[in-house]
Chain A
Amino acid sequence: MSAPAPYDDVVLAAPVTVPYVRYSTKSAHWFLGRAVAELLAVAKIPKARIDGLAVASFTLAPDTAVGLTQHLGMTVRWLDHVPMGGASGIVSIRRAARAVQNGDAEIVACIAGDTNHTDSFRRNTSAFSQFSQDAVYPYGSGGPNASFAFLTAYYMRTYGATREDFGKLCVAQRDNALKNPLALFKKPLTLEQYLDARLVANPLRLFDCVMPCAGGEGFLVMRRETAEELGLHYARLLGAIERHNAFADDPVQYRGGWVMDRDNLYAQAGVAPEDIDFLETYDDYPVINVLQFEGLGFCREGEGPAFVRANTFEVDGSFPFNTSGGQLSVGQAGAAGGHLGITEAIRQLTGQPLGAQVLNARHGIVSGFGMINYDRGVCSGAVVLAAP
C-alpha cells in the first residue's frame, strides 16, 4: 500500500461552538445555521466566500446537507453529508483537506449540530440502523448504554480494568470542564460520587454516560495561504486516518480501527506518540477512551489500566486529555460530539482555549469514533494537528 499524499499546507481555523442547552424546541437547522454565522463572524468573511460545506447531524431529517444549502442560502461547489457519528469530524477533515489541496474548494466549513427534544434520544436510537432495529433495540431498548456495558464488562474482565480506573478519567475530565464556561456540568465530581452513582446497566453507572443535549460545533478547512490572507489563527494538519468496520471477527470490540492505521498516522505527521502534548478522544463512555489510548499507541494493547494508573489527565497533568471536559462533562450535542475535540484542539494549538491552556501545546491528536451499527463502533479515525 503506497503512502497517502501528505497534507501539506492544509490548516484548520475559526473554531466555533454554539452553546449547548439540555433541551431545545428548535430544529437542527438552527444550530447549524448559528454555527455558520459564527464561522463568518470569527473569520470575518462574507458567506459567499465559503465554497465547500461538510455537515454532520442526527436530527436534520428529512433534510441532508442539500436541504441546508437552500435553508442557509449557500451556494457551494463542494458538498458532503457525513453520517458517521463521532467520527464525522475527522472524516470531514480528511474530505475537506483533499478538496482544498486540489482546488475543488477554497474554504470548507465543517459543521455539526443537533437539536434535542425530550424524545429525541429515544427516536434516534430506536431507528438507528437496520441491524440495531432487528437485533439490538428489541432486547431491552437500552440504547448505546447497553452496547457499551457489554464492552466495558468484557474489557474489565479481560484486562483487569477497575471502576476506579475509569473513574479517574471521568474525574479528570470534570476538572477540565469546570474551567470551560460552555460546559453543561458545573459541579466537581469526586471518585466516590462516581463509584456510588446510580446503576444504569452494570458495570456502567450514571457518570459513565454522556448527557445528550442540543448544540453545534464548526471550523474551517483551507490552505495556509488563504488563512494568512484572512489573518486567521490556524492549526496545521499533519496527518489523518480513518477506518471502518475494522476487526470484524473480534468477538467483542476490544480494539478499535486506529490499530490498523496508527503507524501510517505518525508517519504522515512525522512524529511519535511521545511528541503528542494532548489528546482529545471521542469519549461517549470511559472504556472507549482506554481503547483510544491503546489504539493510538500511547500504551500497548491490554495495558490501558496500567497507563491510566501511571498518569494524570488534567490540563496540567502528565497526559492532558479531553482538555475542555469532553462529552462526558460538556455534553453530547449529537453528531457535534465528534467535533468538540477538534475545536478544542484548534483552540489549544492557537492559544485560545475555552478553559485552561495546555502548556507548550505544539502537537495534539483528535480521535473520532462512532456508529454502533450493531455490536461495535464501526467508524474510527484520528488527526494529528500542530501549532502554526
Chain B
Amino acid sequence: MPERAARPQPKNPILRTRQPTLPPASRSRVALGLTAAAARGCFALQVCRDCGAVQYPPREVCGACLSHRLIWRPQDGKGALITETTLRTAQELYFRERLPWRVGIVRLDAGVNLIAYLHAGVGAAPCRVRVEAALDRAGQAAFVAIPEKGRPDLSDDPKLREFTCDPRGRKILVTDGKTSVGQAIVQALVKAGADKIWIGEAEPWKKISGLEALRALPQATVIPLDVTDGGSVQELAGEIGGKVDILINTADYHRTFSINSRRGVETAQLEMDVNYFGLLRLSQAFAPMLKARAADQPSNAIAWVNLLSIFALANYSPHGTYSASKAAAFSLSQALRAELRAAGLRVINIFPGPIDDEWDQLEMPPKLSPASLATATVEALKGSVEDVYPGDVAQDWVARHLDNPKALEREAGEGAR
C-alpha cells in the first residue's frame, strides 16, 4: 500500500519564483542519433557495418576503418567505471544551481569510453556498472551509470530525479476522466503517489459510473472541462493553472469512419475539435503557466503528456478521419514540445494501438487494456522518455514505420473500401 507522499510546505508567496535553466543543449546532427534512441528509452550507439567497431562519440565515419556505413544499434551498456570525480564548480547556471555533480568515465565492454552521470548507488571507481540512456532537461540524451546488479529508479537518486517526471507528490490534471483510459490513468497515478489529481469532466449530464467511483478518492477533484470550449479551458487554467505540475491530455474523440463511410464532415469536425483544437486550446491556456513554474519550488511543473494514437504515424483508413485528427495533434505536439523545451518541460507522447474500449470493439486482438495503457503512461513519467509505444500493435507499427514508412502506409490502408 503506497504511502501518501509527505505534503511539502506551501511556497512563501512573497518570494520570487525561480526561473528555469537548462543544461547545454547543442549537439551535432549525428549526435542526435543518441537522442532519437533515448527518446524511446533505448541506449544505442553507432556500429560499423564493415568492421564491427562500436563508435563513441558519434561520428560520420568509422574511427577504425573509415567506412561511412555506420548504423545505430541498441547496447547493453555493460562496462567498467574507470575513473570519476565530483564537480564542485560548473560553468553553466544549470549545473551551478545543482552542485555537486558526480560524473565518471565508463569503459564499455563494447570498447569505447563514455562520460556519464553516476547514480548514487554506484560505488567508487573502479567497479562494474551498466549505462542507460536518459533524457536531460534540455531534452537531449544523457548517459547514467547504474550499479551492475539491480535496476534502481532514476528518481531514487535526488540528483537524477530531475531526469524523470515522477508523479510522486505531484499535482496532476487529467483532462478527461470519463473515458475508460482516463479513469485507469487516475487510478494508476494514485498508486504512484500523486498528491492531487484534477479530473476533467465535460457534459456532466452524461453520467459515467467509473467517474463516480473516482470522486470518492481523497486525491481526486472532479472539475468541469470541455476542451471544445475555449471559455471552459481558460476558466480552468485561471483557477488551477498555477498549480499544475503535470498535464495529461486524455481527451479523445474516437469514431470509426473512413472518408466515405460517413457523409458530411460533422463527425470529423468533432474529432478535430477535441483531438486537435482541444490540444491547441489547452496549450494556449496552460503552457505559459507551466513554463513559468518550470523551476518553482517546492514542486515544479515538469511534464505534458498527450494520449495520441499509433494511427498518428500512419493513417488507418477504416478510422481515417480519426487517424488524421491524431496526426494533426501529433504535429501540434511537436510544436508544443519545441516551446516547452525552452523551459525544460518534457512533452511525452503516448502512441497506443487499438484500446480495448467501445470504439475499438471490432478491432482484432491484441488490444491494449486501459489499465495497461495507464501503467505505460505512469512508467513513462517515472522513466526518462518522450515517445512511448505501448503494447504489441504499437511496437509493431513503429518498427514498420522506422523501417519503411511507405510500406506501412500501404499496410495501414488495407482495411479501406
| Chains A and B touch each other in the complex, with CB atoms below 8 Å apart | yes
A residues with CB within 8 A of B: 121-122, 125-127, 130-131, 133-143, 145-146, 149-151, 153-154, 157, 198-204, 251-252, 374-375
Contact across chains for B28 and A142 when beta carbons are under 8 A apart: no
- Chain B residue with the shortest CB-CB distance to A149: B85
Q: How far is the CA of A296 from the CA of B82 in the complex (A)?
A: 26
Q: Which chain A positions have C-beta within 8 A of B136?
A: 138
Verify B83–A201 contact, CB threshold 8 A: no
List B378-404 residues whose CB lies under 8 Å from chain A.
none
Contact A142 B83 (CB under 8 A): no
B86: Cβ under 8 A from any A Cβ: yes
Nearest residue (CB) in B for A376 is B113
Among B31, B89, B92, B113, point to the contact of A134 (Cβ < 8 A).
B31
**Residues in A neighbouring B27, C-beta threshold 8 A:** 133-134
Contact assessment for B58 and A150 in the assembled complex, using a CB-CB cutoff below 8 Å? no
**CA gap between A203 and B90 in the complex, in Å:** 15
Task: List the interface of chain B (C-beta within 8 A of A).
Answer: 23-24, 26-28, 31, 34, 56-58, 82-92, 94-95, 101, 103-105, 107, 113-117, 125-126, 136, 138, 140, 142-143
Q: In the complex, A139→B85 CA distance in Å?
A: 12
Q: Is the CB of B140 within 8 A of A138?
A: yes
For the complex with contacts A142-B95, A149-B85, 4 further pairs of A-B residues with Cβ separation under 8 Å are A138-B24, A140-B103, A141-B90, A154-B82
| Chain B neighbourhood of A203, CB < 8 A | 85
- Residues of A with C-beta under 8 A to B143: 139
Known A146-B85, A150-B84, A154-B82; judge A134-B90 contact (CB<8 A). no
- Inter-chain contact B117/A139, CB cutoff 8 Å: yes
Contact residue among B24, B56, B113 (Cβ-Cβ distance under 8 Å from A251): B113
B-chain residues with CB within 8 Å of residue A199 when the two chains form the complex:
86, 88
Q: Contacting B57 at CB < 8 Å: which of A149, A157, A251, A374?
A: A374
A218 to B142, CA, bound (A): 42
User: Can you pick out 23 interface pairs between chain A and chain B where the beta carbons lie within 8 Å of each other?
Assistant: A126-B91, A130-B57, A133-B24, A133-B26, A134-B57, A135-B56, A136-B115, A138-B24, A138-B136, A139-B116, A139-B117, A140-B90, A140-B117, A145-B89, A150-B104, A153-B85, A153-B125, A198-B88, A199-B86, A200-B87, A201-B87, A202-B88, A374-B113
- Counting from the closest, the 8 A-B pairs by CB-CB distance are A149-B85, A134-B31, A141-B92, A135-B57, A154-B83, A122-B91, A131-B57, A140-B101
Contact B87 A146 (CB under 8 A): yes
For the complex, give the distance between the alpha carbons of A145 and B86 in Å: 11
CB neighbours (8 Å) of A141 from chain B are 23-24, 90-92, 94-95
A88 to B28, CA, bound (A): 26
Residues of B close to A201: CB separation below 8 A: 85-89
**Cα–Cα distance between A341 and B57 once the two chains are bound (Å):** 33
- Indicate if the CB atoms of B88 and A153 lie closer than 8 Å: no
The CA of A153 and the CA of B136, in the complex, are separated in Å by 26
- List A contacts of B28 (CB < 8 A): 130, 133-134
Chain A residues whose C-beta falls within 8 Å of the C-beta of B104 in the assembled complex: 150
Contacts of A126 in B (CB 8 A): 24, 91-92
Q: Which residues of B contact A135 (CB under 8 A)?
A: 31, 56-58, 114-115
The answer to whether A139 and B105 have CB atoms under 8 Å apart is no
Residues of chain A contacted by B103 (CB below 8 angstroms): 139-140, 142, 146
Which residue of chain A has its CB nearest to the CB of B92? Answer: A141
- List residues of chain B with CB within 8 A of the CB of A127: 26
- In Å, the complex CA distance between A198 and B82 comes to 25
Query: When chains A and B are docked, how far (Å) is the Cα of A314 from the Cα of B95?
Result: 39
Q: Of the candidates A138, A140, A157, which one forms a contact with B87 in the assembled complex, judged by CB atoms under 8 Å apart? A: A140
Smallest Cβ-Cβ distance to B141: which chain A residue: A138
Which A residues are CB-close (under 8 A) to B126?
157
CB-based contact A153/B83 at 8 Å: yes
Query: Which residue in chain A gives the minimum CB-CB distance to B116?
Result: A139
Q: Which residues of A contact B23 (CB under 8 A)?
A: 138, 141
In the complex, what's the smallest C-beta–C-beta distance from B73 to chain A, in angstroms?
18
Q: How far is the CB of A59 from chain B (nearest CB, A)?
A: 16
Does A125 contact B91, Cβ atoms closer than 8 Å?
Answer: yes
Closest to A145 in B: B89
Q: A122-B92, A375-B105 are in contact. Are A153 and B84 (CB under 8 A)?
A: yes
Return chain B residues, CB-CB under 8 Å to A121: 91
Q: How far is the CB of B114 from chain A (nearest CB, A)?
A: 7
A150→B85 CA distance, assembly (Å): 6
